[in-house]
Amino acid sequence: MKQIPNIFTLFNLFFGCIAIVLTLQTESIILYSNEEFTNSFNIPEKMAIAAFFIFAAAVVDFLDGFVARLFNVCSEMGKQLDSLADVVSFGVAPGVFLYQLLRISWMREQNGLDIPMGYLLPAFVLSCSSAYRLAKFNIDTTQQYAFKGVPTPGIGLLIASFPLMLHYGGGLIDINQWLINKWVLYALILLLSWLMVGNLPIMSLKFKDYTLKNNLPKLILMGIAVVSFPIFHWLAIPVIFIAYIILSLFFKNKSIT
């Protein structure tokens, strides 16, 4: 029984590895017309499928903790294994997503095929920040019901929504051009990395008790999620993420305990 939670954790890692492989198999369409170089790129379905594996990793990441508490088999090994899996699924895989999006962004420009790899490597600043965030979390015993910095899975799910928006659309608002704008991507890498390694008081989504007073921000967030998806489709995930940050800061006196 004690290995069952670890099996869920390894599925988290397994799904993250699949997401990386699928993301690296993307293709681009290059068009030439009238001797004038123009290029057009699509987001292949494989990259969108990779995003679904990140969401699958998030589901089993939640379940491993639930199963561990159910069987009362929480262990230090399980905690470390969970972080090792998270750094792949919610750190390395999203970094590969950003690498490919930066690649597509640069390739939309003339001579974009000749850009140095160094222009794309900032994507992995986010991966390094994820690893730092998880290591900091592991040695801090005060973050059971609240966080200092945005948790890595939240960042991973946000980035996983990008190829889904590009492939399936973002509902009422079209932000596709922003998601393949290199300057926007660079700014997001810096912002999201800072949100992880910083000490902003961020609420945990675990329920410590079932009183309305202590769970009001979580309930508001759930309401925003329910309303957002029918309206914004996959854009709902960034909307929920922003609401999560705002609610955490607004209720910050209850966030870090």
pLDDT in tens, 160-180: 999 999 888 766 677 778 888
Q: Are 5 and 64 in contact (CB under 8 A)?
A: yes
The confidence score (pLDDT) of residue 170 equals 64
**Which pLDDT tens digit goes with each residue over 201-248?**
998 887 666 777 778 888 999 999 999 988 888 999 999 999 999 999
The confidence score (pLDDT) of residue 37 equals 46
Alpha helices, DSSP H, located in the chain: 4-23, 45-71, 76-87, 93-107, 123-138, 152-168, 176-179, 182-197, 212-232, 236-250
**Which pLDDT tens digit goes with each residue over 6-16?**
888 899 999 99
pLDDT class for 1, splitting at 50, 70, 90? low
Q: Residue 64 contacts by C-beta under 8 Å, 6 or more apart in sequence?
A: 5, 6, 8, 9, 12, 78, 82
The confidence score (pLDDT) of residue 137 equals 87
How many other CB atoms are there within 10 angstroms of residue 183's CB atom?
9
CA angle 123–39–48, rounded 5-degree value: 50
Which stretch of DSSP H or E encloses residue 201? Answer: strand 201-203
Res 28 pLDDT > 80: no
Helix 45-71 vs helix 93-107: crossing angle, to nearest 10: 160
The confidence score (pLDDT) of residue 26 equals 65
Token pair listed for 93: 């895989």
Whole-number Å distance between alpha carbons of 142 and 161: 30
Radius of gyration of the chain (CA): 19
**Rounded alpha-carbon distances, angstroms, from residue 219 to 7, 123, 212, 247:** 31, 34, 8, 11
**Which pLDDT tens digit goes with each residue over 84-142?**
999 999 999 999 999 999 988 887 777 766 788 899 999 999 999 999 999 988 888 77
Q: Are 8 and 15 in contact (CB under 8 A)?
A: no
**Which pLDDT tens digit goes with each residue over 38-77?**
444 556 678 899 999 999 999 998 887 777 666 666 777 7
pLDDT class for 185, splitting at 50, 70, 90? very high
pLDDT class for 31, splitting at 50, 70, 90? very low
Q: Which residue has the higher pLDDT, 251 or 188?
A: 188
The confidence score (pLDDT) of residue 257 equals 43
Whole-number Å distance between alpha carbons of 89 and 251: 29
Whole-number Å distance between alpha carbons of 10 and 108: 38
- Tokens 């929920």 correspond to what residue? 240
The confidence score (pLDDT) of residue 33 equals 43
For 83, the 3-state DSSP assignment is helix
**Could you tell me which residues are beta bridge partners of residue 33?**
36
* Architecture of the CATH domain 4-200: Up-down Bundle (1.20)
Going by C-alpha positions, the residue among 49, 121, 131, 125 that lies closest to residue 90 is 131
Res 30 pLDDT > 60: no
